[in-house]
Structure 1
Amino acid sequence: MVKITFITVSTPGIKSLIEAGKEINRQYPNILDLNLYYGKEEMNDEKSKKMAEDIKNSHLVFVDLMGSPSSIAKSVYIGLESCNGNIVPYGSSAREYMRLGSFTMKGMTDGKNKKKMNMAAIEKMKSTAETLGKIMPGKMRDMKNYFSILKYFKVADKSNILNMLYLMLRDYGNINEIPRLLEPREVEEVGICNPETMRFYKNYEEYEKDFPFDIKKPTVAILFYGHKYPVDTSSCVGEIKKRIEKFANVIPIAISGAFTKNEKKIKDVILKSTKTSVDIILNFMSFRLGAGPMGGEPQAGIDLLKKADVPYFHPYFMSRRRIKEWEESIQGCSTSEMMISVMLPELDGCIETYPVGAMTEPRYDMEFDIRTDELVIIEERVDKLISRIRSYINLRKKENKDKRIAIICYNYPPGESNIFGGAFLDTFSSVENILKNLKDKGYKVNPLTKEELMGIFTAGGIVNSGKYSDSWEKMIKYPDKKYREELKKSSDYEDIIKEWGPSPGSIMVNDNNEFLIPGIIEGNIFIGLQPTRGVHEEIEKVYHDKTLPPHHQYSGFYKWIKDEFKADAIIHVGTHGTLEFLKGKECGMSGNCYPDKLLSDIPHIYLYYCGNPSESTIAKRRSYANIISYQPPVFVQGELYGEFAGLISMIDNYHQSLSLAPQSSDDILSSIWELAEKLNMPKNLDNIEGELYRMKKSLIPKGLHIFGKGYTPEEAREYAKGLLRYNRNGILSIRELITRANGCSLDALLDNDQYETIREIDEEAEKIIDYYFENRKLKKSKYINENNKDEFIKSLEYGCTIIESSQKNYEMEGLMRVLEGKYNPAKLAGDIYRHPEILPSGYNLYQFDPRLIPTKIAYKRGEKICLNTLDAYKKEENSYPLSTAVVLWGLETSRTQGETFSQILAYLGVRVSESSNEWDPKYDIIPIEELERPRIDVTINICGFFRDMFPNLIVSLNEIFERLWKSDESDEENYFKRNSKRIYKKLLDKGYDEEEAKELAISRVFGPKEGSYGTGITKIIETKNWEKEEQLGKAYIDSLQHVYNGKVHGKRVEGLYEENLKTVEIISQIRSNHEYEITDLDHYYEYFGGLSKSVEMVKGQKAKMYITDTTGDRVLSESVEKSIERGIRTRVLNPKWIDGMLEHKYHGVQKIADRFENVLGLAATTNSVEEWIYEDMYDSYVDNEELRKRLIENNPFAYMDILEQMTEYYNRGYWKADKEKIDKIKELYLELEGNIEENL
């Protein structure tokens, strides 16, 4: 008998193999021993061993492992190593083992990477085989057979599979008594095809005879796979097609070939088939439109989408989830499906990514000992898709004058001081700008000014849970009756009632049991405030489950928008709201997920900060947001102010005196020490100079951005000058060019604290830049000569290009286009200084491709962070730390392309392998003798964004931990293994079996539970609902104790997280962008601070706390105290930053007040806020009468928040203020409160 073994992930392939195998066994008994293994599902040890044995003893093995679990791949490769038979790989798996007769893949690999194929060579070889294989024996015939087998399997119907087995039996089993082979049945690479029958049509005219075109209807183009690998999607596509045909014409386009090869035909079919243009493109295929796993040209796909200029939907089929499994899963879709069906299509600007099909429960075939399943539609999800297609078509067809648009702004935390919030956004001015443009585009609206909007919402008392106003008569009322009827049908009815009581509840409800809708209607435009989450009204809920369901008025608000206001689109304004973080799946949403429920079928447009890839990604995936990016305000140098300017002048005088008047130098130095002490600076001249230099050169945001407004020429020049301070994208900084011309290195000058020389270089660089920008020619300089002038010109011309491009702004154009149902191309989200191509803004956003992390640059910088922190620790403790704890954010990972991830690798003594590629990441364990230090253990604290955005990196980390556990190294060499052994023993003592104890003992990735994103610490600080700092540490542990490894996803294991924290001696996080100092963002105290407090609680003592700044060319690691101090000096106390904020009425003090709360958070979690900081904040913001008046005029409500925070510092013992200061604060507060109540 001929033994043939198939390991495949193809469900149609397995189904046809069973049918064909049974037919052969009936007609030709005892010639075929067919063994089948389904490569998608985990196997037990017994079955894995049997599979490896079958492979080893087979005459021919067919290997198809696309997306198979690593355990299956491992068993397959074990078998292949011992196999002497023929091996046919399908796709990229096991190519290095390929042999069929005398044919191998030798010479077909691409360079060093043996798994990456040279596609040009393969195409040439395939063409040769097609011609010569029919007439020539030996290698040519084997080559032809190989490509025939691939063709047979691609269209895996019974006929093809039967003939494939006949070929294998005849040519590689010496079986001659079989029928004559039929050539592989192939499908057209591109064609109009009815998915219900898989009949291909020559053109649309022929198709139209069966499906008449109605010119009055819209048209939808559907792209789907023409082949059946790895699942047969045709019946599901056919069912969806039938439902669309009830209201639209359909162009069904089956694609089996590469886009680049068939680009013209695909374009012609989409763009030229019908009498009218298409209105929606619906793509059910995985990967990018223009490029698949074998490569391609992504830009070609984007060019087509731009040409079509219609919404690009990307619903998908889950071939790795059964319907029931998906319904019960909080994760939603699998990691691999998220990558190929969501993340990669997002790079093309797709929207509407949710599953519409999944696998059935398996059926067991006894003869072949295998379970099979098939793809079916998810009825409720298909209904959602159909309704949202209709809604987007409505945007295309409805006249602007008839469209009803809901503009939703934020009011978080609730109250008068935080109306119209949004990161880096002057939201009142932005909404004014939007209303004006809507009016110009024909929408029915009275364009209100920002002053009118402020008056309506503040003085008018239209606010969530107002503190000073209970004037509800101006709010829109919505009886809860309709909501209550729908609530009773909800699957979450009991959860909602349990948390919030019966409808309508107590939040934003009047005495008539009516929901209060905080907003106004102007013509056909609603402008309102997103509801509060309820924890500020019922503060005990801050300690509850983080997946708190929305309260009644929250749900009622969105129901009112749909049913009563009848919105054609929702626009959420600014980063960020709360809708996308409501309870539901992480990705691959269902109708039971709250964001999905509340949005219903309304198109969702979200104005989002271009620098935030993590939260914008969640908004897209969980609330179907069609993102319109907005840019940051311009960043300017912080400069030195007040007595800091005098201090640097003294230091300059001191340096000059050493050579010109040595007798006066001691007196000058004494004055320096005196002023430095007053300014709370160290008594070390180099350290003072370094800190003053960093303060002066720190980039700070100048005010806020107004949506739709690009940089002015002056602001664009500031931005370009900032870029030219750093080496970027092959462009050398002007400072670098000057130092090279001077025969030295900028790094060397910084390392040796040569700040006087560095300042001279900076001054010369600025002169060269300003002169070139003004005159477009080089300034005469001793640093510019014939040898280097071209480099100077190259860098300066780059700066000129940036000046031109950064003045462009497509935000308003992008918004108006999406409201008209047009295509919204996507751009990278991130730091505009690291990636200037992010500007101009006004587009959809995507995260950095997780398969490419870490980049080479990120790895080098991560390695430097590791060395910096270890050196700092060793300098203090004279030893290496046993363990570190690192905060790993999705935001930072996407922006830096993996600096913290690389830092983790470096601690562990691991590097990226040269043979690694995006589909097959590889890591090398650095030998201890090369590392020259122990491997440092690391506890990794991820946020929910990292979990959702970079699941592949979690997989890679756990694979690395497994290898480190198995390494042949001592406890003194491998601290990871040492700690793992300790934890392993404790788990065994608790009753875990050996395998599970091992899995958990080597786990190091901890984060929020499934479906959750934060820790709750920010809400505890906001609500002031805590008494002891330990409550903050406990809240952090409760939130972050969920383990993520190869076997479990967000599982809470009692005590495991704490066991890891027990040995932590360093806590580390990076500051990766200019937008936020550690004092500017609450998530720093939430994660870094929460982790610090947790370690202190578990150990009984503090760990070393380091913040590493990677915003410049050099990586600077320092204590958290210094990082806090710099944030305070460069921003909170800096008149230049304050003045920039106060240019924006109402919002300025709103943003300043946030920093006061962040200081409290940092004080409570790190205990690293010095006394002088509180004193200086008091002097500037309370005692300075001139500034105080400006602050009160800007936003009296937010200024009262500042006074509350100052009181909180004192009451909690962080600020040792004297009685007079506290009395003054209380007096001011009461005076302001009286004025506000009188005016309202």
Structure 2
Amino acid sequence: MHLLAAQPGGIQDGSEAIDLGQTPGDILVITAADTEIASLSMARKSASTEHPNLPSLRLANQMHLAHNMSVDLYVEDMVQHAKLVVVRALGGRGYWPYGVDEVARACQAKNIPVAFVPGDDQPDAELAALSTIAAEDAHRLWQYLVLGGPDNARGFIDCTANLVGFKVDYIEPRPVLPAGAYWPQLGAVGIEDIQKHWAKNQPTAPIAPIVFYRALYLSGNLQVIDDLVSALKDEGLNPLPIFVASLKDPISIATIDQLLDDTSDPLGVVLNTTGFAVNTPGNKRVYTPFEKRKLCVLQVVLSGGNVESWEENTWGLGPRDIAMNVALPEVDGRILSRAVSFKGLNERDENTQCDIVGYQPKADRIAFVAQLAAGWAKLKTNPSPNKKVAIVLANYPNRDGRIGNGVGLDTPAGVIETLRALKAADYPIADIPENGNALVDRILAGPTNALDPKNIQAAEHTLSLADYQTFFDTLPDTVQTKMNDQWGAPDTDPFARDDGTFAIPVIMCGDVAVGLQPARGYNIDPSKTYHDPDLVPPHGYLAFYVWLRKSFGTEAIIHFGKHGNLEWLPGRALALGADDFPEIALGPIPHLYPFIVNDPGEGTQAKRRAAAVIIDHLTPPLARAESYGPLKDLELLVDEYFEACGSD
């Protein structure tokens, strides 16, 4: 095992043993919250100007001490030489048992006062039993951190100084506003102040609440929120930033309700950056203020990892982010969008010998999320007669006899019923086929994955190679190289026609397009490549989605039935980037996906990689298949013949 020196600004995940490189200090504080470290660092600087001889302070992130060897070294070099140790243990002893036990053991052996306090706002009897300072003092330190804000951070600094013998006045913990509205450069404001900054030429533009933790507001780590506000305004939305203690906190819930009730403008979509879930599987559902108003909630990830790891690897996010920002929010039905910021070094505080880390925005991811939010808001607020929708049928294996296959679903019949339902809801529908067979017949009359040259040349809907090339040129160079290396130039694609266009496998039913999803490749075995994580799609594949998005102008895409192949294209597992093929094909288009209820694993792939809203359908009832059509008539004749042969 190698022991690594902590690199300034490095975001450690605990997988390697590291040396934080600190020198001993009078007071040690270990916490898992970067915002807390930033607040204490600022408070220590402020206190030092008034009291230059304050006891020395060292701050350490609990996440950097996840490896047992890191704990051993920190205990030996730091804990054993301190006059006071404060550990705010995220998740209690159960989350960091070795660290808690070793710090407690060392403090007991050296008779060093220690306070173990919970990482949240709930008391923890197990941690309290390990503390050796007075219960009243431990509770006070905990409340400073729970309540947060500059005043309480300063109170924490002054109080801990007193506990090691440096006499200085300190305030008692003070409650801080748990929730409220925020606006860049203004801080906490009322709704009327925010309305002054909304689009003057769009007074009824959809409102897009942005929900974020109060800790960001109190620490001033708000650049990502400010950038989201700007991006949403650019997309014609009226942002409403709201900071909360959590979505379970009653005061925060009441604040959200009040803010949403204080405006008569239409509510469009919610961008939520908080982690965890309001609900627990198996328990009675708790409806958030957003669900009560039937609002779509996009889960926007503020990643605890670093951008270098995200850029270099294919897993997208680390285990902690997946648990807190992806898996648990799925319980509440939130739509996973993208990671819009990553942790990075803001500054090195030599006084506390700690990196001050904060969320650093990623501009292109923020722009993508804003476009996705605008798409969902438009779907909610625009009248149905003005909407365009695309329905995409799967085709696996890539034979004409498997058009519209969906596991446990009569997909063609389901599409017909959907078209009729859309028409009843005033969507601009026309020319609905009589039944599922008629739908398939219309599709077969055009280009399909069978690549019949006659049908391709006779395609009714096309995309010019010039328009495709314009789109293709906007893609990252690495993406262009991969596609050209695998499939050659666009004009060599089987869907490319003699007249310089791509044939698009789609039929029109009014302003609803029903298309056949292209294969992931040609002259290959589809059974081996349908889920291939490395095979890039051919040009004809991208041309299909470019036509839907750019030429047709669809406002939503419905992939109908388990399952298509878009969510299996190469790229990150989740928190996609501009070089990931599901995003390249689908773009920031609202995505719906009727899917069989008994396959949540593959449905999760679509949710996490294609921001899909899964609409479950039940498994079909089982019945004896029997013969049908001419075969049934033949079977009857054979039975009659057999009986006749046995007669006298």
Shorter-chain TM-score: what band? 0.7 to 0.9
CA 1:51–1:501: 2 relative to 1, 3 Å: same
Contact 1:410–1:573 at 8 Å: present in 2 too? Answer: yes
Q: What does residue 102 of structure 2 align with?
A: 78
Please state how far the C-alpha of 1:479 moved relative to its aligned partner: 1.9
Contact 2:532–2:568 at 8 Å: present in 1 too? Answer: no
Q: 2:563 aligns with which of 566, 571, 576?
A: 576
Please state how far the C-alpha of 1:15 moved relative to its aligned partner: 2.8
State whether structure 2 residue 239 is matched by structure 1 residue 253. no
- Deviation track 1:829-883 (CA, whole Å, cap 9, x = no partner) reads xxxxxxxxxxxxxxxxxxxxxxxxxxxxxxxxxxxxxxxxxxxxxxxxxxxxxxx
- Deviation track 1:312-354 (CA, whole Å, cap 9, x = no partner) reads 12112012x1122212221111111111111111111211432
Q: Equivalents in 2 of 1:605, 1:99: separation in Å?
A: 51
Q: What does residue 79 of structure 2 align with?
A: 55
Contact 2:385–2:428 at 8 Å: present in 1 too? Answer: yes
- Deviation track 1:547-584 (CA, whole Å, cap 9, x = no partner) reads 11111101111011111111111111100000011111
Q: Equivalents in 2 of 1:5, 1:420: separation in Å?
A: 63
Map 1:87-106 to 2 at 5 A: 87-91=115-119, 96-98=126-128
Q: What does residue 209 of structure 2 align with?
A: 221
CA 1:591–1:1189: 2 relative to 1, 3 Å: farther
Map 1:246-325 to 2 at 5 A: 246=234, 247-256=236-245, 259=248, 261-262=250-251, 265-266=254-255, 268-289=257-278, 299-300=285-286, 302=287, 304-319=289-304, 321-325=305-309
Q: What does residue 447 of structure 1 align with?
A: 432
State whether structure 2 residue 471 is matched by structure 1 residue 486. yes
Q: Equivalents in 2 of 1:207, 1:260: separation in Å?
A: 23
Which amino acid is 1:1186 matched to? L
- SS of residue in 1 equivalent to 2:552: coil
Please state how far the C-alpha of 1:101 moved relative to its aligned partner: 7.8
Q: What does residue 412 of structure 2 align with?
A: 428
Which amino acid is 1:530 matched to? Q
Q: Equivalents in 2 of 1:583, 1:594: separation in Å?
A: 6
- SS of residue in 1 equivalent to 2:463: strand
Map 1:1135-1150 to 2 at 5 A: 1136-1139=624-627
Please state how far the C-alpha of 1:5 moved relative to its aligned partner: 1.2
Please state how far the C-alpha of 1:495 moved relative to its aligned partner: 1.0
Which amino acid is 1:79 matched to? V
CA 1:494–1:94: 2 relative to 1, 3 Å: farther
- SS of residue in 1 equivalent to 2:368: helix
Contact 1:64–1:90 at 8 Å: present in 2 too? Answer: yes
Contact 1:231–1:375 at 8 Å: present in 2 too? Answer: no
- SS of residue in 1 equivalent to 2:75: helix
Q: What does residue 386 of structure 2 align with?
A: 402
State whether structure 2 residue 355 is matched by structure 1 residue 371. yes
The percentage of aligned residue pairs carrying the same residue is 23
CA 1:359–1:316: 2 relative to 1, 3 Å: same
- Deviation track 1:765-813 (CA, whole Å, cap 9, x = no partner) reads xxxxxxxxxxxxxxxxxxxxxxxxxxxxxxxxxxxxxxxxxxxxxxxxx
Which amino acid is 2:116 matched to? V
Map 1:82-481 to 2 at 5 A: 82-84=106-108, 85-91=113-119, 96-98=126-128, 142-143=135-136, 145-154=137-146, 157-170=149-162, 172-176=163-167, 178=168, 180-194=169-183, 196-201=185-190, 204-205=191-192, 208=195, 215-228=203-216, 234-246=222-234, 247-256=236-245, 259=248, 261-262=250-251, 265-266=254-255, 268-289=257-278, 299-300=285-286, 302=287, 304-319=289-304, 321-361=305-345, 363-445=347-429, 446-449=431-434, 450-458=436-444, 460-466=445-451, 470=455, 472-481=457-466
Structure with greater contact order relative to length (CA < 8 Å, sep ≥ 6): 2
- Deviation track 1:222-250 (CA, whole Å, cap 9, x = no partner) reads 22212249986533213212332452333
Q: Equivalents in 2 of 1:73, 1:230: separation in Å?
A: 30
Map 1:590-669 to 2 at 5 A: 590-634=577-621
Q: Equivalents in 1 of 2:485, 2:636: separation in Å?
A: 46
Q: What does residue 731 of structure 1 align with?
A: none
Map 1:1061-1210 to 2 at 5 A: 1136-1139=624-627, 1186=634
- SS of residue in 2 equivalent to 1:64: strand
Contact 2:86–2:116 at 8 Å: present in 1 too? Answer: yes
- SS of residue in 2 equivalent to 1:558: helix
Q: What does residue 21 of structure 2 align with?
A: none
Select the structure that is richer in helix: 1
Which amino acid is 2:406 matched to? G
CA 1:62–1:396: 2 relative to 1, 3 Å: same
Q: What does residue 641 of structure 2 align with?
A: none
Contact 1:407–1:573 at 8 Å: present in 2 too? Answer: yes
Contact 1:283–1:315 at 8 Å: present in 2 too? Answer: yes
Q: Equivalents in 1 of 2:536, 2:278: separation in Å?
A: 37
- Deviation track 1:918-955 (CA, whole Å, cap 9, x = no partner) reads xxxxxxxxxxxxxxxxxxxxxxxxxxxxxxxxxxxxxx
CA 1:1189–1:239: 2 relative to 1, 3 Å: farther
Q: 1:6 aligns with which of 29, 40, 43?
A: 29
CA 1:46–1:533: 2 relative to 1, 3 Å: closer
Q: Equivalents in 1 of 2:526, 2:482: separation in Å?
A: 18
- SS of residue in 1 equivalent to 2:491: coil
- Deviation track 1:1069-1091 (CA, whole Å, cap 9, x = no partner) reads xxxxxxxxxxxxxxxxxxxxxxx
Please state how far the C-alpha of 1:514 moved relative to its aligned partner: 2.5
CA 1:191–1:448: 2 relative to 1, 3 Å: same
Contact 2:118–2:127 at 8 Å: present in 1 too? Answer: no
Map 1:751-1150 to 2 at 5 A: 1136-1139=624-627
Please state how far the C-alpha of 1:102 moved relative to its aligned partner: 7.2
Q: Equivalents in 2 of 1:237, 1:477: separation in Å?
A: 41
Q: Equivalents in 2 of 1:23, 1:100: separation in Å?
A: 31
- Deviation track 1:257-289 (CA, whole Å, cap 9, x = no partner) reads 663533761453254111234222221111124
Please state how far the C-alpha of 1:194 moved relative to its aligned partner: 2.9
Contact 1:465–1:507 at 8 Å: present in 2 too? Answer: no
Q: Equivalents in 2 of 1:248, 1:470: separation in Å?
A: 43
- SS of residue in 2 equivalent to 1:168: helix
CA 1:614–1:532: 2 relative to 1, 3 Å: same
Q: Equivalents in 1 of 2:129, 2:608: separation in Å?
A: 43
Q: What does residue 8 of structure 2 align with?
A: none
State whether structure 2 residue 617 is matched by structure 1 residue 587. no
Q: TM-score, normalised by structure 2?
A: 0.83
Q: What does residue 518 of structure 1 align with?
A: 505
Which amino acid is 1:412 matched to? Y
Please state how far the C-alpha of 1:158 moved relative to its aligned partner: 4.9
CA 1:442–1:339: 2 relative to 1, 3 Å: same
Which amino acid is 1:226 matched to? R
Contact 2:93–2:100 at 8 Å: present in 1 too? Answer: no
Q: Equivalents in 2 of 1:228, 1:31: separation in Å?
A: 27
Q: Equivalents in 2 of 1:518, 1:421: separation in Å?
A: 16
- SS of residue in 1 equivalent to 2:63: coil
Please state how far the C-alpha of 1:62 moved relative to its aligned partner: 2.0
Segments of structure 1 that go 5 or more residues without pairing to the other structure are 104-138, 635-700, 703-1135, 1146-1180, 1191-1240
Please state how far the C-alpha of 1:1189 moved relative to its aligned partner: 12
Contact 2:533–2:568 at 8 Å: present in 1 too? Answer: no
CA RMSD of aligned residues (A): 3.7
Segments of structure 2 that go 5 or more residues without pairing to the other structure are 1-23, 639-648
Q: Equivalents in 2 of 1:546, 1:453: separation in Å?
A: 32
Q: Equivalents in 2 of 1:183, 1:434: separation in Å?
A: 62
Larger radius of gyration: 1
- Deviation track 1:1009-1046 (CA, whole Å, cap 9, x = no partner) reads xxxxxxxxxxxxxxxxxxxxxxxxxxxxxxxxxxxxxx
- SS of residue in 1 equivalent to 2:250: coil
- SS of residue in 2 equivalent to 1:40: helix
Contact 1:10–1:231 at 8 Å: present in 2 too? Answer: no
Q: Equivalents in 1 of 2:237, 2:564: separation in Å?
A: 35
Please state how far the C-alpha of 1:1138 moved relative to its aligned partner: 4.1
